[in-house]
Amino acid sequence: MSQRLSRRALAGLVLVPVVGCAAPPARAQRGGLASLPDFADLAERVLPAVVNIAVTSEQRGEIPPELRGTPFERYFRDRFRGRGQPVSGAGSGFIIDPSGLVVTNNHVIGNATRVVVALQNGQEYQARLVGVDDLTDLALLRVEARGALPAVPWGSSASLRVGNWVLAAGNPFGLGGSITSGIVSARGREIGAGPFDDFIQTDAPINPGNSGGPLFNTAGEVIGINTAIYSPSGASAGIGFAVPSDLARGVIDQLRSSGRVERGWLGVSVQDVGGPEDGPRRGPAAPAAPRGVLVAGVERGSPAARAGLRPGDQVVAINGDKVETSRALVRGIAAIAPGQTVRLSILREGRPSELPVQVGRRPAQPQG
């Protein structure tokens, strides 16, 4: 279930480079009162595929300290692009293919004029940008190496449970390869970063320079990309956020194949349908009304309008899968390739109906 942070909590949110995840108890410490995790074997296995990313770009004026290493640094750079002096930054990433494909955060790359990827063994490679996705803050780089590079596999974030150990790896404060450990503190966090917020929350220490680094499970699989922290100071306060691998993997696959991400779009404005207390009173024996998403408006000429969707309709399922929040509807449609036909289960004036809709291509600033 999605969990929102309060306005007060969001006021203290600072997005910074992160390290990311921790792993579970592998060995018990002898003589101790309790079993403690030992991450040495796991770290030795995965760290060769974790990279440091050095970025050079043009900047006029000094970036405010609280913005360094955050997505907001990119907007600061945009304002003065081409009118300043070279400045450098640092972040993290990880290799997903021995041929040299490197995943990181989009805000790490920014408007870089030069990107250098450094491996744990000291080897450095100049990288070229394959593609970026602003909505999930992900980027894909490629480096040309003479031989196969160490790589780490994707894992499934859907299998994560609150309390699982995770291991985070990255480049905090530009110090070089480092790891931190912690547990999964929560899932499905919404932090106001965008329409596809679905972050894994972890207490693994994450600091500036760690953005783009991997979050590992105890099997050494990447189950998240460390992207942000909640902190009043900009340093680790024990609350970090990672993009789930199940979301990131699809984005990276599209960037790899075409250099861009295409998402489905209906062209509607929607709002959540409240619980039973928001509707007319029912007798104690009356069945609960189905939850769903209320269509508040339909954009003229949109896929929804062409299919006959109307304001006041209530969407309860996509291709048979239940939909209970507006965010779930947006994510579900976005995951469908433009041009495909989707079957919406709706309630119109209380009566169930099925409506086929040919999904459109999501524009830069869509309504829904």
End-to-end CA distance of the chain: 21
Helix, strand or coil, per DSSP, at residue 243? strand
pLDDT greater at residue 282 or residue 258: 258
Verify whether residue 88 is a known catalytic residue: no
The answer to which of 28-42, 246-260, 271-285, 354-368 has the lowest mean pLDDT is: 271-285
Q: Which of 57, 92, 133, 137 is catalytic?
A: 137
Res 36: pLDDT: 76
Question: Going by CATH, does the domain composed of 264-361 fall within 2.30.42.10?
Answer: yes
Is the predicted pLDDT of residue 277 greater than 70, yes or no?
no
pLDDT at 365 over 70: no
Q: Does domain 1-261 have CATH number 2.40.10.120?
A: yes
292 contact partners, CB below 8 Å, separation of at least 6: 273, 314, 315, 316, 317, 323, 324, 346, 347
Question: Does the annotation mark 211 as catalytic?
Answer: yes
Residue 151, Ramachandran bin (φ over 0: left; ψ between -120 and 50: alpha; else beta): beta
Helix, strand or coil for residue 266? Answer: coil
Kindly report the pTM of this predicted structure. 0.76
Q: Does residue 155 carry a pLDDT above 50?
A: yes
For the chain, the domains span: 1-261, 264-361
User: Which among 57, 92, 178, 211 is annotated as catalytic?
Assistant: 211
- Arithmetic mean of pLDDT over the chain: 83
Distances (CA, A) of 125 to 100, 114, 255, 322: 10, 11, 20, 47
Q: Which of 57, 92, 107, 133 is catalytic?
A: 107
- The residue to which tokens 């907001």 are assigned: 72
Q: Point out the least confidently predicted range of 221-225, 234-238, 265-269.
A: 234-238
On whether the CB atoms of residues 132 and 255 are closer than 8 A, the answer is yes
35 noted as active-site residue = no
- The predicted pLDDT at position 102 comes to 98
